[in-house]
Every structure is written in C-alpha cells, then in structure tokens.
Structure 1
Amino acid sequence: MRNKASTAQTMVRLLEHSRYEVLPTATTEDKVLAHVPRDVTVTVTASPSKGLEATLDLAERLTGHGYAVVPHLAARMVSGRAELTEIVARLTGKGITRVFVPGGDADPAGDYPDALSLLEDLAALGHPFAQVGITGYPESHPTIHDDLTVQSMWDKRRYATHIVSNLTFDPAVIRDWVRRLRNRGVTMPLLLGIPGPVERTKLLAMATKIGVGESTRFLAKHKGTFARLAAPGGFTGERFLEKCAPALGEPGALVEGLHVFTFNQIAETEAWRQDLLGRLRR
C-alpha cells in the first residue's frame, strides 16, 4: 500500500511540474491561450524550415501574455556570436530568462556545429539566462556508446542548469539511464520527456508534414516506435509514469518534472493532465 501511495505522490509531483513543448504554427498562440494555465511553462521548438524567427516571435508573444516561455535555440541554426548576441538582447529585453539549447538537425549555418559550442559563447556573453536546458538521450545512437552521450552532458555541465530527456517509451531504459547519469557524477536536475495524449493513428503523418521539433523528427525516423504507439493497448503516458515513478522518486534521482511533447494537441494534453491529477489526488 505504501508503494502505491509513494508512486501516486511521485506522479502528482511530476504532473504538477510539467511543461509543454509546442510547435510554432499559426494556431499555436490561440491554443495556448485557450487551454494552458499561466503557471505551466511553455517551450517553443525551432524548425529549419521555419527559421528561428518563428520560434522567437511566438516566445515573445506568449511571454507578453504572462507565460514563462523557453525558446529553443538550435545551435546549428545560429550563424555565430554576432547573431547570438542579437538573440540574447532580444529575448532578455522581453524578460525571457530561460532557453533550451539542442544541437538541432539543420546543417550548421555558421560557427556552431553542436550545442556545446553555442553554450560556450553564451557563457562568454555573461551567462545571460538563469536557466539553460540541454538534451539527454536515454536511448543513444546505435553507433555511439551510451558513455559518450553521458560524457557530452558532463562536458556541458558548466553551462547548463538542467537536462531534458528525449523521448523513450521503455521505463526500464529511463531507470537505468538516470542511474548511469548519477553514477557518472552528472547531478543536474532532469525533466522527463513524454508524449502527450496524441491521436496515435495521425501522429506519423503529422510528423512528416509539419517537420518541426525534435519530437516529430524522432517519430518520423522510428516507425517501429510509432507502430507500438498506435497498437491497441500500446503506450499510454499514465502507465509509463506509473512504471517510471519508483525510480524517479529515489533519493538522488533529481527528476523535477515532465517535458510533455504535445505535438500541438494542446487542449487534449491539458485535459489529460488535469484528469490524471484529479484521480491521483483522491
């Protein structure tokens, strides 16, 4: 009984500290305003097809509406320190204090072949953001050893404040990955990446058509994963959290909340979170 209660407590804590990743499309602002409480942080992806302007513009507008917003500064989409300086001035001028720095999928536009190189320049510019997130990979590249992805996070530790995990659908992978991180001395807080309640049968088509965001590209490249998601009785966020919760509640796990990939199903995501919170609190 105690284990069940502890699992519920961990799930409530994570759900209460959720943030929503959204794609910068024409309807996103209205969807966020209609359905997302002001105490939920919103992150805005960066797309090579749309350019950083779409990300920055939406981030500024949502900030103006009272949200805490995290624009994604994909390193390979920034040409160099001059452009980065302009971006920093623009965002800080609007009161934006948080950013997320992935490498991004685009070919390098200039001086930043990876996230670390942009993070180093942010440090040289005086650490202008209070919170800087980096990507974590619970399931690393087939040809890159897990230790190298953990080493990458170690290399970035001086420049980042937290890690956002990429999507995975296996609780055992999450459990082992968190333990490996901590055993290697990576002590940054972690946000667990999970998908929202997306319409599974439409997910892959949407991913290939929109073509923006780490989340959509992941599913476009992993069709076997999509097949498991779409299958009856397949992945659900609730079951995933239930199975992850014991490991995420361990002392030293330092998992602070959820990073929810909404795929712009924003109303559905918030309804799912509130429903689950209501049931867990009974």
Structure 2
Amino acid sequence: MAHPTPVSPKAAALVDGFSLEMTGKDVPGLEEARDTIPQGTKINVTFLGNEDLEMRVTAAKAVKDMGFVPVPHISARRLESEAQLEEFLARLQEVGATEHVFAVGGDPADPAGPYPDSLSVIRSGLLQKYGAREVSIAGYPEGHPDIADDVLWRHLDEKALALAQQGLDAVVLTQFAFDTDPVIAWIEAVRERGIDAQIRIGTPGPAGIKRLINFARRFGVGANAMIVKKYGFSLTNLMGTAGPDRFVTDLADRLAEPSTSPGTGGGHGDVKLHFYTFGGLLATSQWAREFVAAQSSGALR
C-alpha cells in the first residue's frame, strides 16, 4: 500500500532502524507482525506489574527466535531482592537475551526491594555479570510528573558515567513525545553535557486518538490543543486514529538543521526512533515499512 503523502529522504532515514516496544502478553501480536518487521530490529520487552518472570522470559525468547534483538526491561522498583534480579538475568541469559537491556526505575511509588532506581541496578554490576553489552537508560524530554528536572539530569549524568566506567555501551531511550520543540531542546542539552550515546526518541505508532491522550496524561506528556494539532490530530475529534507522520517529518527536518547550542559541535549526534505500539505491533510495523518505502520507491518527484 502506498504511503498517502510524499516522504523526504531524511525522514525515511530517521525511521529506518527503528525499535519497537511490546509487553509480555504480545507474543501473538509479534507473530502476526513478524514479516513486516526488518530482521535484527530491536524489540523492547516490558516489565509490568501484571506479568511474571515466565511471561517476560518467554516473550524475550520469542523475540530472539524470530530473528529480532530482545531488549528486556529491568524495572528496579519492582524487584523484591538481589536474588530475584539474578534469577531474572540468569533466565534471560539462558535464552540469549541479556546483551541488550533497558534499566528503568519503574512505576511503584515505593521500591519493593533494594533498588530504588535504575542507577542502583547499574551500579550493582549484575547486568555486566550476566552478559550485558549495551544498556538503555530513560530520558524525559518533557520531564517526569513525579521527578524534578534537576534530579532527572543528575541521574542521567550518573548513569551514563557508571556505564562508561563499566565499559558498557549506552542508549538513551525517551518517553514518547508529541512536540518536536522540547525534544530538540532536550537533545541539545544532552549533547552539551558530553553524553554522546545514541538517543532513541519515543513516539507512538498509529493508534486511537483517545488512547494516545490517555497515555500522554498518565505519563505527564504535554497533550494540550496546540501540541496535538502540531502532531496531527484535534482534541475535538477523539474518535479517529493518528500516526506519527507529521512528528517524524518535523523531527527529521529539525535534526538536519545545525545545532546552535554550545558544546554540541553543530550536530545532534546519533538519533533514531523508538515506537510505542499502543495501536498494536502490526499497525506500527506496517506504518514504518510504508513510510520508508514511500521515499525509496520514488514517491518524491
């Protein structure tokens, strides 16, 4: 199916090499979408409160077996003990799913065990012990509803330093965004701090508008009328669906412009996209394939 609008080469290049997100319950959806996802794509596997160890490991194994790269989440505040973390990592290692992991604080207000944040998991040395080579850490271009900005920046600095000291590669993976202005400003601020890791900007794949807004409000992401209009939908029409076409195109244009911030060397560094699959893995992977094909097939004249 042809993409309905022309796609610039720089926008197609930004989408190429995307990563995806799935839950432990999404293995049937991954099976459905497998032929539309490029082999070697990174697929993050969440660590939710309503999932258990078996479900998480089974999902990571399915990702690996289908020819993709599993990136299991390690949710610090959900871990009840060091032994539980080691059990999880050992099981993941058995199925070849520990080279790439995502260390994140997690949602619970109070830690279930000894890890109050992802930094404490990284500093434990256990990720490296069980074969991690690359660790993703969280970034928040529009802030966090429960964490002050200065704390977020301090932790980002400390996590990047801790990973470098352990000889581990870092990826900064962001909460999803609707507005390119704070995203570009945040990328430039990251680079000014001397963090040159790959940044993956999170954005929703195609999904129902009402669902997108509910997720945005839950995570403190800006969802006012001006921002969502820039993204490509209206708060007065909540019945339709929306995709990231406008956001991706605008972000690619902005990334192609020289950075004016001191300390960035005029560039934004290595930036890719991470899709939150609120509308399903198949809908997102089909959108990405059609978006890239619209440029490579000569849609632009």
Superposition TM-score, scaled by structure 1 size = 0.82
Q: Aligned letter for 2:187?
A: V
> Which residue number corresponds to residue 70 of structure 1?
71
Q: 1:101 to 1:220 in 2, by over 3 A?
A: same
Mapped partners of 1:16, 1:39: distance in 2: 12
Mapped partners of 1:24, 1:87: distance in 2: 14
Mapped partners of 2:174, 2:81: distance in 1: 26
More helix by share: 1
Does the CA-based 8 Å contact 2:171-2:200 persist in structure 1?
Answer: yes
Residue 183 of structure 2 aligns to a residue whose secondary structure is helix
Hey, which bits of structure 1, 4+ residues long, moved more than 4 A? Answer: 142-145, 221-224, 232-236
Does the CA-based 8 Å contact 1:23-1:263 persist in structure 2?
Answer: no
> Which residue number corresponds to residue 128 of structure 1?
131
Q: Aligned letter for 2:42?
A: T
> Which residue number corresponds to residue 105 of structure 1?
107
- 1:130 Cα deviation after fit: 1.2
Query: For structure 2, which runs of at least 5 residues remain unmatched after alignment?
Result: 1-6, 164-168, 259-265
Residue 190 of structure 1 aligns to a residue whose secondary structure is strand
Q: 1:66 to 1:230 in 2, by over 3 A?
A: same
Mapped partners of 2:221, 2:120: distance in 1: 32
- The more displaced of 85-94 and 161-170 is 85-94
Mapped partners of 1:68, 1:79: distance in 2: 27
- 1:77 Cα deviation after fit: 1.6
Mapped partners of 2:224, 2:211: distance in 1: 10
Q: 1:224 to 1:121 in 2, by over 3 A?
A: closer
Does the CA-based 8 Å contact 2:139-2:173 persist in structure 1?
Answer: yes
> Which residue number corresponds to residue 42 of structure 2?
41
Q: Aligned letter for 1:265?
A: G
Mapped partners of 2:222, 2:95: distance in 1: 42
- 1:234 Cα deviation after fit: 9.6
Q: Alpha carbon RMSD of aligned pairs, Å?
A: 2.8
Q: 1:271 to 1:234 in 2, by over 3 A?
A: closer
> Which residue number corresponds to residue 213 of structure 1?
none
Residue 72 of structure 1 aligns to a residue whose secondary structure is strand
- The more displaced of 233-242 and 91-100 is 233-242
Q: Aligned letter for 2:9?
A: Q
> Which residue number corresponds to residue 242 of structure 1?
249
Determine if the alignment matches structure 1 residue 116 to structure 2 residue 114: no
> Which residue number corresponds to residue 281 of structure 2?
266
Q: 1:129 to 1:253 in 2, by over 3 A?
A: same
Q: Aligned letter for 1:14?
A: L
Mapped partners of 1:39, 1:179: distance in 2: 29
Q: 1:203 to 1:146 in 2, by over 3 A?
A: closer
Mapped partners of 2:293, 2:30: distance in 1: 26
Does the CA-based 8 Å contact 1:78-1:84 persist in structure 2?
Answer: yes
Does the CA-based 8 Å contact 1:178-1:253 persist in structure 2?
Answer: yes
> Which residue number corresponds to residue 25 of structure 1?
25
- 1:240 Cα deviation after fit: 0.8
Mapped partners of 1:22, 1:98: distance in 2: 15
> Which residue number corresponds to residue 15 of structure 1?
15
> Which residue number corresponds to residue 94 of structure 2?
93
Mapped partners of 2:115, 2:32: distance in 1: 33
> Which residue number corresponds to residue 177 of structure 2?
168
> Which residue number corresponds to residue 218 of structure 2?
220
**How many positions carry a matched residue from both structures?**
265
Does the CA-based 8 Å contact 1:192-1:257 persist in structure 2?
Answer: yes
- The more displaced of 228-237 and 113-122 is 228-237
Q: Aligned letter for 2:63?
A: L
Residue 156 of structure 1 aligns to a residue whose secondary structure is helix
> Which residue number corresponds to residue 139 of structure 1?
142
Does the CA-based 8 Å contact 2:90-2:130 persist in structure 1?
Answer: no
Superposition TM-score, scaled by structure 2 size = 0.77
- Seq. identity, %: 27
> Which residue number corresponds to residue 4 of structure 1?
none
Mapped partners of 2:210, 2:243: distance in 1: 14
- 1:175 Cα deviation after fit: 0.8
Does the CA-based 8 Å contact 1:22-1:264 persist in structure 2?
Answer: no
**CA-to-aligned-CA distance 1:88-141 (integer Å, 9 cap, x gap):** 222122222111111000242211111111111135853721111010000113
- 1:171 Cα deviation after fit: 0.6
Q: 1:242 to 1:143 in 2, by over 3 A?
A: same
Does the CA-based 8 Å contact 2:93-2:130 persist in structure 1?
Answer: no
Mapped partners of 1:25, 1:43: distance in 2: 13
